[in-house]
Amino acid sequence: MRISVEEVFETVQMTMDQNFDIRTVTLGINLKDCMDRDGKAFNKRVHDRIVKMGRQLNKFSGELESKYGVPIINRRISITPASILLEPLPKTVPTVVKFAKTLDSAAGKAGIDFIGGFGGLIQKGMTASDKNLLRAIPKALSQTQRVCSFFNLGSTLAGLNMTAIERVGHVLKDLAGMSENGIGCAKLVVFANAPEDNPFMAGAHHGVGEPDFSLNIGISGPGVVRAVVAKNPDCDLTALSEVIKRTVFKITRAGELVGREMAELMGVDFGIVDVSLASTTAVGDSVAEIIEAMGVSQMGRPGSTAALALLIDAVKKGGAMASGNVGGLSGTFIPVSEDLGMIRAVQNGSLTLDKLEAMTSVCSVGLDMFAVPGDTPGDVLSAIIADELAIGMANNKTTGVRVIPVPGMKEGDIVHFGGLLGSAPIMGVPREASPDFIARKGRIPAPIKALRN
């Protein structure tokens, strides 16, 4: 892949002035061959492999960051879903917690920011290992720093596992109570149609269809896209889409260049480039501000969903033009706590949970990093999750939920998480939703569109 001098200069400007970065390099690691009925031997093999490969990832990330001048913000590892790895071991909570601490220790020794995959694929049903892992999540995540968890609770082909969804609402309540400001819940995301090659946390895992090692890149450029939108205030929406598409094309090429070189240095397969726009709390690095630069008076007001649909379509088209290896989530994140424009919109009343849910029907990821009162009932949390995952199931797209019930806080308060997680206004939710519906459990069958053969 040839990169012109002009493209190099454009990338440098994006990095210096518009917050362009490689948001994450995520190394997927197959751990299935580490499985053992001896827990001590299993944990040692897992620990040693993660430390060895994680140190390489960290080393080469630093070298390429210096070589190209493009910041690599996070170095991460994803593993084979933990519920599979734990199958041969005793189905006890201490077994799961010990494994979580092994992962946390190994990531720390390797200098890795987060390690994902501590979860399971339970869209149609749960094994004894799945049930035990879900039961242990509050203790495991509250006693570790770097471990992130995911559960795939539904898919277009399988429907929604409502028995698991009912349980997750109560797991979130327990986890929130065991961690300061409920922050442990930021490390748990539930999905419909979770991809196997997602490099972003908390949902990353190394899918069973992946090779032994796979290097996936997550690029991010809300500031870059916002800048080009602001420079084109008078063009029509067709032309604006083209402007965004060309911009994403450029940043995708930069991401693939770094990813392929790192994979070659490490001697592993290059996986995918995820071209998602991921906000940070830095000024100007906001997806909400892109929507507002398009002409929507404030994120959440009428027109927001249509503008977001235009944005995500242009992002995907630009990425697909630039690389044959686009994958993962590849869309637009709209987390509340990590985006200054989203925070303002919630505080001003223009963005409610209902509107946020509506916007997720056209964007990737779903309801991400939003906070609710700590006394929100578990069945209400389960109902919010069911609604969001139903959008993904019915529309054959990935949707997820990362909700944080903050103990002791009520609607209108604001919780400060710090770092990349930012701050979140506490959003209002009903005190009662659908307790009898959620209590039915079972499974919502797959939509008829699943019968495609």
End-to-end CA distance of the chain: 37
Judgement on whether residues 311 and 412 belong to the same structural domain of the protein: yes
Judgement on whether residues 159 and 282 belong to the same structural domain of the protein: no
Judgement on whether residues 312 and 179 belong to the same structural domain of the protein: no
Judgement on whether residues 332 and 386 belong to the same structural domain of the protein: yes
CATH number of the structural domain spanning residue 166: 3.20.70.20
Judgement on whether residues 108 and 251 belong to the same structural domain of the protein: no
From first to last of the 453 residues of the chain, give the pLDDT tens digit.
455 545 554 555 555 444 567 888 999 999 999 999 999 999 999 999 999 999 999 999 999 888 877 788 889 999 999 999 999 999 999 999 999 999 999 999 999 999 999 999 999 999 999 999 999 999 999 999 999 999 999 999 999 999 999 999 999 999 999 998 999 999 999 999 999 999 998 899 999 999 999 999 998 778 889 889 999 999 999 999 999 999 899 888 888 888 999 999 999 999 999 988 888 777 678 899 999 999 999 999 999 999 999 999 999 999 999 888 988 888 888 899 988 999 999 999 999 999 999 999 998 689 999 999 999 999 999 999 999 999 999 999 999 999 999 999 999 999 998 777 888 999 999 989 999 999 999 999 999 887 777
3-state SS assignment for residue 442: coil
Judgement on whether residues 178 and 228 belong to the same structural domain of the protein: no
In a domain, 198, yes or no: no
Judgement on whether residues 289 and 384 belong to the same structural domain of the protein: yes
Judgement on whether residues 54 and 141 belong to the same structural domain of the protein: yes
Q: Which of 177, 192, 207 is a domain's end point?
A: 192
Residues of 51-74 as b/e, b for ≥16 C-beta within 10 angstroms?
bebbebbbebbeebbeebebebbb
Judgement on whether residues 242 and 135 belong to the same structural domain of the protein: no
When divided into structural domains, the chain yields a total of 2
Q: What pLDDT was estimated at residue 1?
A: 46
Q: Which of 192, 207, 233 is a domain's end point?
A: 192
Determine contact, residues 391/371, Cβ cutoff 8 Å: no
Judgement on whether residues 154 and 47 belong to the same structural domain of the protein: yes
In a domain, 213, yes or no: no
Judgement on whether residues 172 and 274 belong to the same structural domain of the protein: no
In a domain, 9, yes or no: no
* Enclosing domain of residue 265: 218-445
Q: Which of 157, 192, 227 is a domain's end point?
A: 192
**Tokens at 223, concatenated:** 């500031």
Determine contact, residues 122/130, Cβ cutoff 8 Å: yes
- Percent helix / strand / coil, the chain, rounded to 5: 50, 20, 35
